[in-house]
Amino acid sequence: MNSTVSPNVQRWRYALAGVVSAGLFFGVAELASVPFTRASSPLVAVGAWFIDITPPWLKDFAIAAFGTNDKLALFISMGIVALLAAALLGILARRASAFAAGLIILLAIALGTAVWSRAATGILDLVPTAAGAVAGILALNYTVRAAEATEGSNSSHTEHEVPRSSRREFLRAVSVTAAGAVLLGVGGRALSSVRNVASATREALQLPRAATPAAAVPAGAQINVDGMPQHVTPNAEFYRIDTALRVPEIDPKNWRLRIHGMVEEDLEIDFAELLAQPLIESRVTLACVSNPVGGELIGNAKWLGYPIRELLARARPLPEADMVLSTSHDGFTASTPLEALTDDRDALLAVGMNDEPLPLEHGFPVRMVVPGLYGYVSATKWVIDLEVTRFDQALAYWSTRGWSTHGPIKLSSRIDVPRAKATVSSEKLAIAGTAWAQHTGISKVEVRLDDGPWQQAELAEQDSVDTWRQFVLRVDSLAAGEHTATVRAYDREGRLQIEEPMSPAPNGATGWHRVSFTVK
């Protein structure tokens, strides 16, 4: 029995052929990338490359719009673009199959270039892309032939009459290819994670006790108001910002840190040696330069680590040096003023976070933590190299993308309770939040209701000058209806928080946080 097929349906068949063939391309590449480095997967390499070329405004937009789901959003948009391109390729292959194969080769060259451009990839890391390209071309050939067969022979029929068996043949070709793509892709991902010992090693790792433990958190550091964040942020709730699509998985056995550049003596230290040093503990509040006024890209943890000044003292920086360029395993770099790493603040090579080894996504096995500086100029995760140099001789990752070379954290405050747009009862009404001026400390916080006078808020007990400090203003009576609350903080040197609203780029947002809420 024969049936008639419209050109539209035909076009869909070719589009489908293109999509499943592209799927097989990436599935084969994913499986083939298992024995090679992470960035040998063309998907990972392209995503990483894309993040690197992202201009600051787009990065801000992505963080503002998607929060810490910015990478998921990136994967989804890349997926949609890829899907459309693959469908188009299939439709092209109907009339010009050699041309379509040529496009796949061009695509493979582009993907191979992306892989090649990643730090620490070699010639062998191009194998997965090449294997994917071969599979993609064969699959396209196979599925497009099957689609052609469903067209019958146009010359001998006035209508497009299609034998049912050739349609079944086409469906089989497409499903076999699609199933292959999914199986290989999922299998590849699963195998790469089994292969990685980092998380297993981390689970089993027993960190030494601190030679100098942190003082206990003062009982009064936490304001007792519903909805306030915890003074010490649990690891699972700690914000995460980095350019790594796949979290680097480093076996501590292979970890080494090099200290070199403008020093009298080059140094190298491995993980066992690092753990054998007298470690100290301190609570430090990390903040991201991309945090908007009122934002959540800030967290406070107890870090266990070794003071970087001790290592630098052994290497003996030359007098003309003024910066340390730290590099992570995945190629990210940060420029930190030498002084912030050698003065008496506890700039750490951290191995522990809240009594655990660093979580993989927070830098396992070793990261930097420097009180008073935004993360992008100081908090290098998966750190493997410290080069002592000068600001006029080297630029770090975000400084080549429009952000300032120096990033001291700006005096800031945030209202956590009530939440914006909340409806609250007038009984036991409290305006509460957090203020921070890392390494200087907070001396005063003021809150204003509507256009009323500034009122001094009650401050929580200070933990350390390197941590944030909570505040609360208890409000006796407020009329039903809509209101706003505004907050501003003073640091211990008497400076007032900047009022003028400024966006995060190029060195941190300013402006007083204000929330609107309704009293029942």
Of 376 and 490, nearer to Mo ion (C-beta) is: 376
Say how many residues touch Mo ion, by CB under 5 A. Answer: 4
DSSP conformation letters of 350-384: EEEETTEEPPGGGTTT-EEE-TTB-GGGT--TTEE
Helix spans in 286-353 (H): 308-315, 338-342
Tell me which H or E stretch contains 86: helix 70-95
- 241 counts as binding ligand MTE under rule CB under 6 A: yes
| 380 counts as binding ligand MTE under rule CB under 6 A | yes
Of the listed pieces 17-25, 187-195, 235-243, 251-259, which binds Mo ion according to CB under 5 A? 235-243
Q: How far is the CB of 442 from ligand MTE (least distance, A)?
A: 21
- Scanning 104-112, 198-206, 258-266, 372-380 for contacts with ligand MTE by CB under 6 A, the matching segment is 372-380
Q: Cβ contacts of residue 215 below 8 Å, gap of 6+?
A: none
φ, ψ dihedrals at 225, nearest 5°: -135, 130
Under rule CB under 6 A, residue 332 binds ligand MTE: yes
Name the residue whose CB lies closest to ligand MTE. Answer: 375
Restricting to residues 32-91, which ones interact with Mo ion according to CB under 5 A? none
The answer to whether the CB of 188 falls within 8 A of the CB of 28 is no
CB of 382 to ligand MTE, least distance (A): 5
- Residue 288 touching Mo ion (CB under 5 A): yes
Q: Characterize 333-368 residue by residue with b for buried, 16 or more Cβ atoms within 10 angstroms of its Cβ, and e for exposed.
A: bbbbbbebbbeebbbbbbbbbbeebbbbebbbbbbb
Residue nearest to Mo ion (CB): 288
229 binds ligand MTE (CB under 6 A): no
Minimum CB distance to ligand MTE smaller for 116 or for 238: 238
Among 139, 140, 288, 431, the residue binding ligand MTE under the rule CB under 6 A is: 288
To the nearest whole angstrom, how small is the minimum distance from the Cβ of residue 146 to ligand MTE?
Answer: 45
In one-letter notation, the amino acid at residue 359 is P
Our finding on whether 407 is near Mo ion (CB under 5 A) is no
Does the footprint of ligand MTE cover residue 118 (CB under 6 A)? no
Whole-angstrom distance, CA of residue 99 vs CA of residue 102? 5
Task: Decide if residue 376 touches ligand MTE (CB under 6 A).
Answer: yes
Residue 487 CB, nearest distance to ligand MTE (Å)? 23
Cis ω before 229 (30° cut-off from 0): no
Asked if residue 238 binds ligand MTE (CB under 6 A), the reply is yes
Q: Does the footprint of ligand MTE cover residue 286 (CB under 6 A)? A: yes
Please pick, from the candidates 173, 379, 409, 442, the single residue that binds ligand MTE as defined by CB under 6 A: 379
H or E element in which residue 26 lies: helix 7-32
Q: Is the dihedral of CA 382, 386, 390, 394 positive or negative?
A: negative
C-beta separation of 127 from 39 below 8 A: no
17 phi, psi to nearest 5 deg: -60, -40
Interface residues toward ligand MTE, by CB under 6 A: 238-244, 286, 288, 328, 330, 332, 362, 375-376, 379-382
